[in-house]
C-alpha cells in the first residue's frame, strides 16, 4: 500500500517531465487532441440527455409533397398524393405555397392546387406543415413569379407580403393545418437562386404571419448539417433541421457526411438550452442526389449510388436513433415515380419500414 501511494505521489512529477520534454508543436497538438476529446464527450453527454428525455414520446414520421415536382416527374399529382396518404398511411405532410404558382399574374391569386391538397388532408385526418414565403422546398429554392424578377426589392417585397397574407388567411382555420414553415433554409446563400437574404425581411414576415394567425406554430429551418445554433431574431416556435447523408459534389464526387445520429440530438438539445424551443427534422433525405442532370433522367444504378433500398432502411433507422421524434422525409414524389415506372422496390421499402415504426 505504501509503495502504491508513493507511486501516486510521483505521478504528477512524471507527467510534468513528459510535458517538458515535448516540443512546442507537440504541446500544441497534444492540447488540441485533449480539447477535442473533451468537446466530443461533452457533446455526446448533451445528446444523451436529449435522447433519454424523448424516450417516452411517440415517433412521428411525415414527408414533403410538392405537386409541381410530381408533374415534373410525369406522374399525376392527385394519384401520387392519394397513394402517399392511403397506401403509405402517412399522416403528416409538408406542403408548399409557391409564389410563382399562386400569383402568376400580379394581384390575381390562384390557390386551387393547394385547395385540393388541403381538402384531401382534412378528409383523411392528415396534418399539414405549410411552407410560406419566397424560399420554399425544391429548386430553384426561391420561387419568384416572372413578373417580379426584374423588380428591385422595394417593389417585389410588398406583393410577396400580400401573397403570404392571402395564403395564411385562406388556410389558418383548416383543421388540417398544424404549423407553418417560413422561408425554407433562409440563410443558405450558396444553394439556389435567391435575390435577398436580409434578416430584417425574415423578421418582418414572421411578425406578419403571427399577426394574422397567432395560434399556429412557426418553424424556421437551418441549412443542411449546419453545426451552429440559430440565435437572435426572429425567434420561431420550433426550429427545423435538414439532414442529408449522401450527396454528390463536383469536386469530391460522392460524399457521405460523417455525422453520427447523436450529433442531431446534440443540435436539438443545444437549441433547447439556448432558446427554450424544440427542434424537429423537417427534411431528411430519402431521395438520390445524382451526379448531374435530372433524377428522372438518371439510371437506376446512378440513383442507387446515393439512395438504394438499403439506404432507405439505414436512413429511417438513423432518423430513429437521433431521438428526434418529429421527422419529415424528403422524396415522396420520387418513390411514387419509381413505382409507377415499374420499379416498386423503393416504395415498398418505405412502406415496410414506416409500418414497422
29 lies in a domain? no
pLDDT grade, residue 4 (50/70/90)? low
Query: Is residue 38 situated within a structural domain?
Result: no
Q: Examine the pLDDT at 202 and tell me if it is beyond 60.
A: yes
271 and 226 Cβ atoms separated by less than 8 Å: no
- Considering the domain boundaries, does residue 4 fall inside one? no
What pLDDT digit, counting tens, does each position of 244-266 carry? 999 998 888 999 999 999 999 99
**Domain presence at residue 231:** yes
Alpha carbons 264 and 287: distance in angstroms, whole number: 20
Segment 212-215 long-range contacts (CB within 8 Å, at least 24 positions apart):
212/165, 212/168, 212/169, 212/172, 213/168, 213/172, 213/180
Residue 88, pLDDT > 70, answer yes
CATH number at residue 100: 3.20.20.80
Residue 8 has a pLDDT of 45
Cβ atoms within 10 Å of 340's Cβ, excluding its own: 16
* Average pLDDT, rounded, for the chain: 92
Q: Average pLDDT, stretch 13-22? A: 69
Is position 43 within any domain? no
Mean pLDDT of 30-58: 88
Domain hosting 213: range is 63-355
With respect to residue 78, please indicate whether it lies within any of the assigned structural domains.
Answer: yes
Count of domains forming the chain = 1
Question: Is 44 within a domain?
Answer: no
User: Tens digits of per-residue pLDDT, 111-139?
Assistant: 999 999 999 999 999 999 999 999 999 99
- 54 domain residue, yes or no: no
Amino acid at each position: 500500500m505504501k509503495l502504491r501511494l508513493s507511486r501516486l505521489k510521483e505521478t504528477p512529477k512524471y507527467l510534468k517531465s513528459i510535458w517538458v520534454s515535448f516540443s512546442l508543436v507537440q504541446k500544441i497538438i497534444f492540447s488540441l487532441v485533449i480539447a477535442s476529446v473533451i468537446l466530443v464527450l461533452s457533446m455526446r453527454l448533451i445528446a444523451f440527455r436529449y435522447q433519454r428525455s424523448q424516450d417516452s414520446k411517440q415517433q412521428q414520421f411525415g414527408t414533403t409533397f410538392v405537386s409541381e415536382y410530381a408533374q415534373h416527374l410525369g406522374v399525376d399529382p392527385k394519384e401520387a398524393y392519394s397513394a402517399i396518404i392511403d397506401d403509405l398511411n402517412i399522416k403528416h405532410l409538408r406542403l408548399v405555397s409557391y409564389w410563382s404558382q399562386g400569383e402568376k399574374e400580379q394581384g390575381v391569386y390562384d390557390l386551387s392546387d393547394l385547395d385540393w391538397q388541403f381538402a384531401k388532408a382534412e378528409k383523411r385526418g392528415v396534418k399539414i406543415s405549410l411552407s410560406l414565403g419566397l424560399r420554399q422546398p425544391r429548386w430553384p429554392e426561391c420561387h419568384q413569379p416572372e413578373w417580379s424578377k426584374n423588380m428591385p426589392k422595394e417593389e417585389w417585397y410588398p406583393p410577396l407580403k400580400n401573397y403570404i397574407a392571402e395564403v395564411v388567411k385562406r388556410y389558418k382555420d383548416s383543421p388540417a393545418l398544424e404549423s407553418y414553415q417560413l422561408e425554407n433554409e433562409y440563410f443558405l446563400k450558396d444553394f439556389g437562386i435567391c435575390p435577398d437574404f436580409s434578416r430584417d425581411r425574415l423578421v418582418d414576415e414572421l411578425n406578419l404571419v403571427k399577426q394574422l394567425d397567432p395560434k399556429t406554430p412557426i418553424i424556421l429551418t437551418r441549412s443542411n448539417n449546419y453545426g451552429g445554433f440559430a440565435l437572435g431574431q426572429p425567434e420561431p416556435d420550433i426550429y427545423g433541421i435538414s439532414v442529408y447523408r449522401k450527396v454528390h459534389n463536383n469536386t469530391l464526387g460522392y460524399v457521405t457526411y460523417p455525422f453520427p445520429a447523436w450529433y442531431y440530438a446534440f443540435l436539438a438539445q443545444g437549441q433547447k438550452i439556448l432558446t427554450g424551443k424544440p427542434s424537429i427534422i423537417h427534411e431528411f433525405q430519402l431521395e438520390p442526389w445524382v451526379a448531374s442532370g435530372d433524377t428522372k433522367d438518371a439510371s437506376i444504378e446512378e440513383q442507387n449510388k446515393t439512395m438504394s433500398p438499403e439506404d432507405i432502411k439505414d436512413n429511417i433507422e438513423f432518423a430513429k436513433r437521433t431521438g428526434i421524434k418529429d421527422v419529415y422525409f424528403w422524396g415522396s414524389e420520387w418513390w411514387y415515380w419509381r413505382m409507377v415506372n415499374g420499379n416498386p422496390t423503393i416504395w415498398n421499402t418505405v412502406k415496410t419500414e414506416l409500418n414497422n415504426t
